[in-house]
Amino acid sequence: MVLLRRLRASHPRLHPHGVPSQLPGPHRRVAEPEHDPSRGERAQASGKEPLLDSSGFDPSTASARDRDDAKVSAAQLMVMVPGALRFFPVKQKVMDGWESGSFLEALGERALLVSWKDFMASLMKWNETKQWKPLMIAPAVIRKYKIENEQDALRVVDLLFVPRSDGLSW
């Protein structure tokens, strides 16, 4: 939970009464106002953090297993979404969502969040063997994005550079 607090403290959040930044392009970020007394009063009255307040999760009544599950879920979310942004279709959905306020709702869209790792595994295998075998990529994803070879896979993902002990990376 300390990590979540640090992350929340260091990043601007969407807030209905926020002030748009001066960033150019479609990536407008909204900074939280300096002081919102009603937010603090709500959190203090409930005895819970605002994040937990909106989720309905109450750590004081939850079992140790439920608390551990919540921590693991939060950690997986923090790792999964930034990694999935390397997959261009996911990046586009997230960027569109910031503009329109929409979410990844369809089951197929949520499934895309983990597809990037399959691309990366296939590309790493191709790098080692010089043979393209997209065994790990779901056939539906291959059809949807017309992936027939390694070049097609590179077209839809950002390449992940993995440092090696010999000083080279790919």
pLDDT the model gives residue 142? 80
> Using N-to-C axis directions, what is the helix angle for 2-10 and 64-84, rounded to 10°?
40
Is the pLDDT at 70 greater than 80? The verdict is no
> Using N-to-C axis directions, what is the helix angle for 88-100 and 107-129, rounded to 10°?
150
Q: Are 132 and 123 in contact (CB under 8 A)?
A: no
pLDDT digits over 115-138, tens only? Answer: 666 777 777 788 788 888 777 777
Predicted TM-score (pTM) of this structure = 0.36
Helix (H) / strand (E) element for 20: namely strand 19-20
